[in-house]
Amino acid sequence: MASEIEVVAEASASPVSVVGEDGLKDDIYTAAAYGDLEKLQKLVEGDGCSVSEPDGLGYYALQWAALNNRSAAARYIIEHGGDVNAKDHSGQTALHWSAVRGAVQVAEILLQEGVLVNAADLNGYQTAHVAAQYGQTAFLYHILTKWDADVDTPDNDGRSPLHWAAYKGFADCIRLLLFLDAFRGRQDKEGCTPLHWAAIRGNLEACTILVQVGKKEDLMATDNTGLTPAQLASDKGHMQVAFFLRNAKRLLDNRCDGDRHLRKLMRLGLAPVLWFMIIVLLATYIHSVVIGLNLLSINAAFGFFAWLGILLATSGLVMFYRCSRKDPGYIKMNVHMGDLKDVDQEPLLKLELKNPALVAGNWSQLCCTCKIVRPLRSKHCSTCNRCVEQFDHHCPWVSNCIGKRNKWDFLLFLILETLAMLVTGVITSIRIFTDRTFQSSFSAWMTSAGNHLGAISFLIMDSFLFLSVATLTTVQISQISNNITTNEMANVMRYSYLKGPDGTFRNPYDRGVWKNCSSFLIKGYNEDTEHLEQPNRLEGIGVIQMT
């Protein structure tokens, strides 16, 4: 991708930037670039200047007006004979130029006047290519959704808009193009896919999006020199990207795609391991502590607390099962075109693209896999391959996501198991250290320890697990009291809705500890309603400000 858009590079050096403020040229091109409608009228109607003739460089007044989003000037030029489909020496129209800076207003005027949205220049660049090259997501969104621009056409070198967006690292453009089913596996004349170009430039976020939506074949595709994206990233010195791509391939290799039964077994994760550990610990506690033959008999009051620990642990197992099996808040997916070939997917996608979140420029809410515009606070889980409402985290020990619908079960599981470990640990300590042999000589102490090996082993394991589970429980309670999720805490800089006007952290959902906790206890989840009015949240490029 050695070449850029040549005319666009020259167009960026407009008369506005070349000529000083004190010596502006008195011609229609400068007037159009500045949007000086009064001067434009004087030159056209008074001096008889033509708006349909190019300047010395071969560029038209309409192109200069389009580049700088001068909608009034553009409309005047069109009304006085300007050709919307006029091409300069590189084959570009005014619509190409409007794409450079995302001039949506001028583009709408041009399109309504009949400019060809898919007109290609001498390099084969259509307007969608130009918008992707400059990361103008709002512009791309406009021409793709309203004017049916071609999302996947290749240029003269076989590169689609997705190639260019991946090469430049414009994540929002990539999300939009993938949402509209742009072909990930398209290879250009050099044999490179969009993932190859993202890897060459070391664009980690672009690689991440392409890999999450893609398949193992995308990672294994080779260019004309026989190199995969990971190998190209390594050759260019982008070691973090190379590591990510190699690791992604390794994870996909371990998914056992060929065997349905193995896939089901892999989905179980570590939940059976944790279940087994709790059962073994309970059995050890009952056998070695509660009814231990080498320990003193216990009275009724002490026995109540001893069996209370068992009751708490058993109740925790019930909540553990519920949390593992319960829907965490999966958001309904839209049907993929490949799943039901007789279903027309176009109206459904167009309906999704009218979502107010996209109109506001929140492109990160697009899920290219589920084909939905997900709500704020939700996230696509790469393990479950689903979008989860109020996503907290994917817990490998529970083998499920923790989200809006099962967070209550998860918290109750943690609290019950923490209390169970606390009670059983205290009971075990009392049972062991009230044995008189522990108060005698060292040799007798060692003998007694050997007699109580099961109880001591349980105490060690119980103490180790208690520290980790109690810490996790404390963190979860703290986050619930502040109405924030683990995912939001870990990625606080990525989410603009968690930033105030000055760019510092601000949680719009925090209504105070009492209201946050009472809402969670009553409803089972925290409220999504914003407590404070926030300015328009923009993700990535956001809404283009018009002048």
> Angle at the Cα of 432 (from 427 to 438), degrees rounded to 5?
155
Q: Which two tokens stand for residue 237?
A: 């010195």
Beta-strand pair 400-402/379-381: unpaired
Tokens 């930033």 correspond to 499
Under 8 Å CB-to-CB from 152, ≥6 apart: which residues? Answer: 160, 161, 162, 181, 182, 183, 186
Encode burial over 159-192: b for 16+ CB neighbours within 10 A, e otherwise: bbbbbbbbbbbbbbbbbbbbbbbbebebbbeeeb
Count CB atoms within 10 A of the CB of residue 386. Answer: 21
Q: Which two tokens stand for residue 138?
A: 């709002």
The C-alpha atoms of residue 145 and residue 183 are separated, in whole angstroms, by 17
Residues annotated as catalytic (active site), given as ranges? 395
CA distance readout (Å), 433 to 196, 287, 422, 451: 65, 17, 17, 13
Proportion of the chain in helix, strand, coil states, percent, rounded to 5: 55, 5, 40
Beta-strand pair 393-395/400-402: antiparallel
The C-alpha atoms of residue 468 and residue 16 are separated, in whole angstroms, by 63
CA distance readout (Å), 470 to 394, 397, 417, 476, 477: 19, 15, 9, 10, 10
Q: What's the CA dihedral at 176, 179, 182, 185 to 10 degrees?
A: 110
Sequence length of the chain is 547
Residue type, 490: A
DSSP characters for 47-58? S---SSS--TTS
